[in-house]
Structure 1
Amino acid sequence: MKKIITIIIIGLAVIYLIQRIVKKININTKHHIGEVIDEFNGVRVYYNGGIDHTSGRNVTKDGYNIGINYQCVEFVKRYYYEFYNHKMPDSYGNAKDFFDKNIPDGAINTKRNLVQHQNPSKQKPEINDILIFNKNIFNPYGHVAIISNVSETNIEIIQQNPGPFSKSRELLEINQKDGFWTIKNDRVLGTLHLKSTNTN
């Protein structure tokens, strides 16, 4: 019995190590790290290879921290900086940290200086909102993206670093019931919205 347990533990350790290595290297030879693969409103999306790959930190000339190059957070913050000239008061944190569960729906998230909406929310998601995904067993950091299109039945997101074979654009279903809009994905925590915008 001990031998079987030892074999299982060694097997799990090997799987874990392989997974950690694959998440750091580029296994998709069709793209190179730093390649422009998409853009939205003139803001570029770069290819990152393995989701844990890092390529230094993007900092503006005046010292504002955009984030680690080619990660999802870097794109979202760069988008808000370039498109809106918006700087977040707290310029650090992982993707999941963009959402504060203690903030009521429609209140200001002071760390980001943006209006936070939960999922579900009375507010329909809007183009240019930041969408925040919670962590999961394979990704302890969470994920963020920009909403690039909205209809009555779905939203389109544009994202950086979704994985070496994943697309930069993705559709998520939405619906409205009893006055609340729900983004039908269990990992979606909610959205962040620049108060002065009105795109719909």
Structure 2
Amino acid sequence: MGNLCNKEPAVAGIVDNVPAYYNRGINFRSNYITIDNRQLFTGMRFQCVEYARRYLILTKGVLFGDVNCAYHIFDLHTVTDVLTQQQRQFQSIPQGSPIPPQKGDLVIYQKSSKQWWGHVAVVTNVDGNLVDLAEQNYDEDWDHCNYARQVLLKKEANNYFLTNIRQYKPHSWDLNENIIGWKRVI
């Protein structure tokens, strides 16, 4: 058996021209992308935070600050425009809010026994009560979809609750994960 730490990452899927990887046991090291002749730190290679940060840089031109854990993203208040260096609002929308998730939002999961650092996923589509999530290092193969998983959005009274109820390929431990809410660049 070969050393998993020397294997190249596998592309799990691509959405909005931003590839997501499955790390396959690769050593953790910093990852950077170059924008406007500057190297921007995106995070630890092939982890969920790295994908979320890279997605926002490449699709919205903004960068959120360093965090120790994925669930700490929910506590951030601003992002930085990578070209102008101007601060923009990074709105926190708690689970159960009257504001539904929309494309480009980051869904933030609390830490748990299965996800010690929490988790973050990117909303890539909302179609009625179905929400598509793109994420890195969660599912090895997106099965040629433009999302890693598709989950149900429930509305109770005037409040929205994003569930972990997958529409295909369910994982039993998904149901125990707690969604804090979603973040939106304003």
Please say whether Structure 1 and Structure 2 have the same fold, judged by a TM-score greater than 0.5: yes
Structure 1's 115 and 67: CA in aligned 2 closer, same or farther, altered over 3 A?
A: same
CA RMSD of aligned residues (A): 2.4
User: What corresponds to 1:4 in structure 2?
Assistant: none
Structure with larger RCO (C-alpha < 8 A, sep 6+): 2
Q: 2:163 is aligned with what amino acid?
A: K
Q: Extract unaligned runs of 5+ from structure 2.
A: 80-88, 165-176
User: What corresponds to 1:189 in structure 2?
Assistant: 180
Deviation at 1:193, TM superposition (A): 0.8
Q: 1:192 is aligned with what amino acid?
A: K
The answer as to whether partners of 2:110 and 2:118 remain within 8 angstroms in 1 is yes
Larger Rg: 1
Of 140, 160, 163, 2:136 maps to: 160
The answer as to whether partners of 1:152 and 1:175 remain within 8 angstroms in 2 is no
Q: Extract unaligned runs of 5+ from structure 1.
A: 1-23, 27-31, 101-108, 196-200
The answer as to whether partners of 1:154 and 1:174 remain within 8 angstroms in 2 is yes
2:68 is equivalent to residue 77 of structure 1: no
Deviation at 1:34, TM superposition (A): 1.8
Aligned length: 156
Of 174, 183, 192, 2:153 maps to: 174
Q: 2:32 is aligned with what amino acid?
A: V
**Structure with more of its chain in helix, by fraction:** 1
Q: 1:177 is aligned with what amino acid?
A: E
2:14 is equivalent to residue 47 of structure 1: no
Q: 2:153 is aligned with what amino acid?
A: I
Of 50, 63, 77, 1:110 maps to: 77
User: What corresponds to 1:21 in structure 2?
Assistant: none
In structure 1, what is the Cα distance between the partners aligned to 2:22 and 2:100? 30
User: What corresponds to 2:13 in structure 1?
Assistant: 38
Deviation at 1:158, TM superposition (A): 0.9
Structure 1's 96 and 33: CA in aligned 2 closer, same or farther, altered over 3 A?
A: farther
User: What corresponds to 1:57 in structure 2?
Assistant: 30
**Structure with more of its chain in strand, by fraction:** 2
In structure 1, what is the Cα distance between the partners aligned to 2:4 and 2:157? 46
Percent identity of equivalent pairs = 21
In structure 2, what is the Cα distance between the partners aligned to 1:117 and 1:25? 38
Report runs of 4+ in structure 1 exceeding 4 Å deviation: 163-168
